[in-house]
Amino acid sequence: MPLLTPLAHFDSPLALIHPLHSAMLGIVTLDHHVYLCDTQTRSIDKLLHLNVPDDADVLYAFDSHSTRLLFGLKEGKILHMIDARQKKLINRFELDQQSPTSLSFSPDGSHFVCGTDQGRVLLWRCDSTTLVARLHSFPEFTSLYVRPKTNFVSALAFEGKQLATSGYGGSIVVTDYQSQTQTKRFHPGTMKINALLFYKNTLIAGNQEGTLLKIDRSGKHPNQRLPLPHGPIRYLFRTGTPPYALAVYEHHYVSLINLETMKTVQERYIELDEPITCASKGEDGHLYLGTATGKLYLCDLVPLSRLESLIDSKSYAEAYRYCDQEPLLQNTPPHQMLESIFADVMRAAQNALEKGQTAQAAELLKPFQTAKSQEIGALNSAFSYLKRFTYLFENQKFSPFYGLAEQYPPLQSTPLFKQAEKLWTERFIMAQKLMLVSHIKEARSAVEPFAAVNSKRPLIQLLLHNIDVLKTYSKALHEHDYSELVRLTQRYPALRKLPSYLQLNEMAGEHSQAIVEALKSKSFDQARSLLHKLGGMIQYEEEYAHLKNYIALASNLEHAISNAHWRSAYQLLDTHPELMILPWAEELETQWDDKLRQCETFAIRGDVSAIKKTLGNLINLPNRHERIGDLLRMGYQVQLKALLLNDPQLFSEGAEHYCDVFGIDTELRQLLKKAQRHKIQIGIDPQRMHPKKRDQWLMSARTLADRIA
pLDDT tens-digit profile of 630-668?
999 999 999 999 999 889 889 989 999 999 999 888 888
Q: Are residues 499 and 640 in the same domain?
A: no
Same-domain check for residues 166 and 50: yes
- The residue type found at 24 is M
Q: Are 37 and 29 in contact (CB under 8 A)?
A: no
**The total number of structural domains that make up the chain:** 3
Determine if the pTM surpasses 0.85. Answer: no
The mean-pLDDT minimum among 527-536, 548-557, 600-609 falls in: 527-536
* Pair 547, 619 in one domain: no
Whether the predicted pLDDT of 474 surpasses 80: no
**Domain-terminating residue out of 288, 306, 324:** 306
Task: Say what percent of the chain tops pLDDT 70.
Answer: 95
pLDDT digits (tens, 9 = 90+) for 409-462: 999 999 999 999 999 888 888 888 888 788 888 988 998 999 899 888 888 888
**Sign of the CA dihedral with 552 first, then 553, 558, and 561 last:** positive
Q: Return the pLDDT at 538.
A: 52
pLDDT at residue 463, as a whole number? 81
554 lies in the same domain as 605: no
698 plus 552 within the same structural domain = no
**Beta strands at 111-116 and 100-105: parallel, antiparallel or unpaired:** antiparallel
Report the phi/psi class of residue 199: left, alpha or beta, with left for phi > 0 and alpha for psi in -120 to 50: beta
Phi, psi at 374, each rounded to 5°: -65, -50
On whether both 549 and 620 belong to a single domain, the answer is no
> Looking at the domain assignment, is residue 465 inside a domain?
no
- Asked if residue 371 belongs to a domain, the reply is no
- What pLDDT score does 376 carry? 93
pLDDT, tens only, 596-615 = 999 999 999 999 999 999 99
In this structure, the answer to whether residues 515 and 606 fall within a common structural domain is: no
Residue 447 lies in a domain: no
Q: What is the pLDDT of residue 476?
A: 76
Which of 254, 276, 306 is a domain's end point?
A: 306
**Residue 535 confidence class, pLDDT cut points 50, 70, 90:** low
Residue 539: per-residue pLDDT = 58
216 lies in some domain:
yes
Looking at the structure, tell me whether residues 501 and 590 fall in a common domain: no
pLDDT, tens digit, 9 for 90 and up, residues 387-411: 999 999 999 999 999 999 999 999 9
Please state the rounded mean pLDDT for residues 202-207.
95
**Regarding beta strands 211-216 and 153-159, do their DSSP bridges make them parallel or antiparallel, or are they unpaired?**
unpaired
Domain shared by 117 and 262, yes or no: yes
Q: What's the burial of 91, exposed, middle or buried (CB within 10 Å: 0-12/13-18/19+)?
A: middle
Give 354: exposed, middle or buried? Use CB within 10 Å, 0-12, 13-18, 19+. Answer: middle
| 328 part of a folded domain | no
Assess if residue 552 is contained within a domain: yes
User: What is the per-residue pLDDT for 505?
Assistant: 66
**DSSP class of 684:** -
Bond prior to 139 in cis (omega within 30° of 0): yes
89 or 1: which leads in pLDDT: 89
The reply to whether 696 falls in a domain is yes
Give yes or no: residues 529 and 614 share one domain. Answer: no
Same domain, 105 and 181: yes
| Residue 498 confidence (pLDDT) above 80 | no
Residue range of the domain that includes 616: 584-703
Tell me which of 533, 563, 593 is where a domain ends.
Answer: 563
The answer to whether residue 145 scores a pLDDT higher than 70 is no
Residue 686 shares a structural domain with residue 538: no
Residue 79 inside a domain? The answer is: yes
